[in-house]
A and B are shown apart, each in its own frame.
Chain A
Amino acid sequence: MIVDENPDRAALIERSLVAAGYQIVARVIGRADLQAAVNAVQPDVIVIDMESPDRDTLEDMSRITRERPRPTVMFVDRSDSDSIRAAVQAGVTAYVVAGLQPERVRPVLEVAIARFNEFQDLRRELESARSSLEDRKVIERAKGILMKRRGLAEDEAFRLLRKMAMDRKTRLATVAREVVAAAEVL
């Protein structure tokens, strides 16, 4: 999907991308609801002009709607200088300075997609690490509650939780959450 205010430049980018073997699924030239367009078209990659007001919309989408983030590649005019390219960025987006030469388009997009995927993997890893930490915390709390309420030793409390989880064919953390929630109600 190409997002560009300037139809001439959009056409130029489109020609470069097509020549590099990409398929253009949509051209968006200044519309009010970019989010709806992205949801309808579900593009694999978004190519956007850095000078587009829609950048704020895309940034919001990648920040808030985690459902399906996608790589965004930005083309920057030469006048914006290499400094922007040198400075940026965290992997979701790639800046490309004056990258309209057809022979450069393909490698640039490939690198952007690869960096995006790398970033997604990192984020998934971080999220799973964070949730296993959360799990451990809630299991500790549930154990504490059982020890206090039933007068159990720590390993007995843990075995009781594990048995409850096995009996109900569910995760230990799920049972622990229920125990904690029930204790809050009582």
Chain B
Amino acid sequence: MTVLRLGFVPLTDCAVLAVAQAKGMFARHGIAVQLGREVSWASLRDKLMAGAVDGAQLLAGMPLAAAAGIDPAAPPLLTACGLGLNGNAITLSSALWVRVIAADPAAATRRPLTADVLWPLVDADRRAGRPPLHLAMVYPFAAHHYQLRYWLAAAGIDPDHDVRLSVVPPPRMVDALADGAIDGCCVGEPWNSLAVRRGVGRIAITGYELWNNAPEKVFAVTRRFAERNPQTHLAVLRALLEASAWADAPENRDELARLLAAEHLVGAPAGVIAAALAGDIALGGGARLSLPDFHVFHRYAATFPWVSHGIWFLRQMRRWGQLAGAGDLTAIASEVYRPDLYREAASALGMLAPEIDLKREGVHTRPWALETSAGSIPMGPDAFFDGSVFDPLGDADFVGGAMLTR
């Protein structure tokens, strides 16, 4: 039997891949898998391209950037399965937090925190001739990058002129906050929780609060791999769907935390991972927040590759000048996101799958039900923190949030 090589980056949302391996879902679907831990998204993408890995946990923006032609190094990729919702947060360094509180003492009690609190500091720094605030994200095509920009822009802060944004790899983030190399960041777990635990950061807003049940990583393969190995690809998808259901079950979360804590997977304290998985978020300074949906792996159709999510990412790329021109974003997203393959895998397992490919975001502030001909799927809220609505088929210039036009 050939061994499939799948790559991942040490983050809590590699859970579905880790579970499929450790709990035997891959084996049950007749595939042998070798999981390889990678330290950078760029090298994972290049290994996928070179065939050194067959499939990978990727940032949702990476296959889209490749399809849109703005990542010339990448081959055509596709995804038929998401790896979960939420899991990010925006964390401010303790030094910046001290300045925030000095300028606006009430900020300590407001939740979630908007970037309005940064305005007086941005202004004061500019007048004093000090360098602008330096905020970090994990990759130019990462959801974190767009979430951070969205948060800033909603407060009228221009991410390209009022602050400095740059990439810092997740494992370096906590040290960067501690050394004062950066003033804040948007990163996935467990890095925010570790920053809080080390006393070097304070969580301003979680990704969940920014956009309820926002898409995160995807499982991607090259189009070439999917075309040459359709049965193997479907078997992997079936295994991932089963694993996502296991990872989502509350009774399995402690075991999941212990599993992920292992050095060959995430390599972080099990207690920190368990708390984030349980939605018990330490914000810093003793403040806590309970967000049961902080990590969603299966419920709310979390693994479904919504074409509309692809369009959301592409519109962010266009909004922020990564993607120029008037290309057909729906067509690009449909090349990458493959709900048809997902449905094939789900139906083999007798799992319900959405029958539509696109949905509006920001319209549900409470749980709702998605109807299908075989029954209804319970869905979570999808609200944005600023109350905006995203319509994938609506005005192509509309990107959600307070428009910041330049």
User: Which of A's residues lie within 8 Å of B, judged by CB?
Assistant: 5, 30-33, 35-36, 50-57, 59-61, 63-64, 80-81, 83-84, 86-90, 95
- Asked whether B171 lies within 8 Å of A81 as measured between CB atoms, the reply is no
Residue on B nearest A87 in the bound complex, by CB: B50
Contact partner of B49 among A35, A51, A52, A88, CB < 8 A? A88
Task: Give the interface segment out of B34-42, B97-105, B228-236, B362-370.
Answer: B34-42
Q: Would A53 and B49 be within 8 Å (CB), given that A60-B140, A63-B140 are in contact?
A: no
Which chain B residue has the least Cβ–Cβ distance from A95?
A: B46
Which B residues touch A80, using CB under 8 A? 47, 52
CB of A84 within 8 A of CB of B46, answer: yes
User: Quick check: is B43 within 8 A (CB to CB) of the other chain?
Assistant: yes
Tell me the interface secondary structure of chain A in the complex.
Answer: helix
Task: Report Cα–Cα, A86/B40, bound state, in Å.
Answer: 20
In the complex formed, the residue of A with least CB distance to B170 is: A53
Given A30-B172, A32-B176, verify A52-B40 contact (CB < 8 Å). Answer: yes
Contacts of A83 in B (CB 8 A): 50-52
**Chain A residues closer than 8 Å to B139, beta-carbon distance:** 56, 60
In chain B, positions 130-180 with a C-beta closer than 8 Å to chain A are: 138-140, 166-172, 175-176, 179
Q: Are B50 and A84 in contact (CB under 8 A)?
A: yes
Please tell me the size bucket of the interface on B: 20 to 34
Q: Which residue of A lies closest to B39 (CB)?
A: A53
Q: A33-B181, A88-B50 are in contact. Are A60 and B176 (CB under 8 A)?
A: no
Which chain B positions have C-beta within 8 A of A33?
Answer: 168, 176, 179, 181-182
A32 touches B140 (CB 8 A): no
Additional A-B contact list (18), CB under 8 Å, known A31-B172, A33-B182, A88-B46: A5-B39, A32-B175, A32-B181, A33-B176, A50-B46, A51-B39, A53-B169, A53-B171, A55-B42, A56-B41, A57-B169, A60-B166, A63-B140, A64-B140, A80-B52, A81-B52, A83-B50, A87-B49
Residues of chain B within 8 A (CB-CB) of A36 are: 181
Q: Please indicate the chain A residues that have their CB under 8 angstroms from the CB of B286 in the complex.
A: none
Q: Does B73 contact A (CB under 8 A)?
A: yes
Task: Give CA–CA (A68, B185) in the complex, Å.
Answer: 25
CB-based contact B43/A55 at 8 Å = yes
Bound-state Cα–Cα, A5 to B41, Å: 16
The residue in chain A whose Cβ has the minimal distance to the Cβ of B10 is A53
Encode B82-104 as 1/0 by CB contact (under 8 A) with A.
Answer: 00000000000000000000000
Whether a CB of chain A sits under 8 angstroms from the CB of B72 is: yes
How many angstroms between the C-alpha atoms of A5 and B43 in the bound complex? 15
> With A32-B175, A84-B50, A84-B52 as given contacts, are A90 and B166 in contact (CB-CB < 8 Å)?
no
Q: Please state if A57 and B52 are interface contacts (CB–CB under 8 Å).
A: no
C-alpha spacing A87/B166, complex, angstroms: 28
CA distance A52 to B72 in the complex (A): 21
